[in-house]
Amino acid sequence: MTSIGVGTPSSTPSPSEPATPPPVGRLAGSVAVGLQPDGITFGYGSLWIGHYQTSTVERIDPRSRRVVARIRTGVSPIDLAAGFGSIWAANFASASVSRIDPATDRVVATIHVGLSPEGVTVGAGSVWTANQNDGSLSRIDPATNRVVATVELGASVNYLSAGFGSVWVASRGKGAVQRIDPSTDRVVATVPAGQFPVHTRPGFGSMWVTNYDDGTIERIDPATNSVVARIPVGTEADGICAFAGSMWVVSDGDYTLVQIDPDTNTLVGTVFVGSVPRNVVGGRSALWVTNFGRGRVLRIVPT
């Protein structure tokens, strides 16, 4: 994962209730896709969408905004990552990862991991999955397509990301973010978070976590492994990304995309994105949001 820009964390958590937020983007088109689009990533000049319901990954050309390939994967590809010349799909209901070759749009390997892999990320020379139902992390060697380590985390986990020399896992069961050192495959820090931490993402010198049940985003200082800011973003905070000088968070319950200023740790404004948005990624001068409820991917241009 690559951080964008530089920001300065505040010294203590500082919740602040947003007033009526102004619009901070405009809808600049959408793409009709299959049922229940969920995971999304940008790589190899394309957008890639995982469909929980149909067990397919769709490839979108961001210039033409057309689906150019549909790839059958394992059951319920819920999260995606790009790296090592491939797209990696975490198949929640078949305990596996599908490796897709973007040169052929075909699955070239299927790797069995722990139960219910919900998140997948790339970092430290490996591919990692967070396995929700057995509370573990699987580490895959992309050179052999084999699991080379399993890290027991002791509780149900959700999504994960890599940054600052570590892998960071949102643990619903522990109500925390767990930091794993890839040189030892061990947990080196457990950072208490809000209610139902779900996604982590690096950006602006920090690690960020969304807390689904209390509708907040928290900023973690990787130097101290402590929360340095807590920002209310609405109802059911979900997917998150760093893009164009800001952090962007999906609010499932409010049907909005929320912009956060990392310099002030405050909410800047929102964009209405429709029924049950799930995830967001930045690329090609726009933000792209999976609309789980309507079977579309929305293109949002920040204003």
Q: What is the mean pLDDT of residues 82-102?
A: 98
Q: What is the full DSSP assignment across 174-224?
A: TTEEEEEETTTTEEEEEEE-SSSEEEEEEETTEEEEEETTTTEEEEEETTT
Q: What Cα–Cα distance (Å) separates residue 248 from each residue in 34, 58, 256?
A: 24, 23, 10
Does 18 score more than 50 pLDDT? no
User: What pLDDT is stored for residue 19 in this prediction?
Assistant: 58
User: What pLDDT is stored for residue 135 in this prediction?
Assistant: 97
Does 20 score more than 90 pLDDT? no
User: Residue for token digits 């790009």?
Assistant: 82
Which CATH architecture is the domain 25-302 placed in?
Answer: 7 Propeller (2.130)
Query: Domain extents for the chain?
Result: 25-302
Q: What is the mean pLDDT of residues 182-187?
A: 98
User: What pLDDT is stored for residue 108 in this prediction?
Assistant: 98
What is the share, in percent, of the chain residues with pLDDT greater than 70? Answer: 93
Does 253 score more than 90 pLDDT? yes
Q: What Cα–Cα distance (Å) separates residue 38 from each residue in 117, 192, 228, 293?
A: 14, 27, 29, 10
Does 4 score more than 90 pLDDT? no
User: What pLDDT is stored for residue 154 in this prediction?
Assistant: 92
Q: What is the mean pLDDT of residues 52-66?
A: 95
Query: pLDDT digits over 152-177, tens only?
Result: 999 999 999 999 999 999 999 999 99
The pTM is what? 0.92
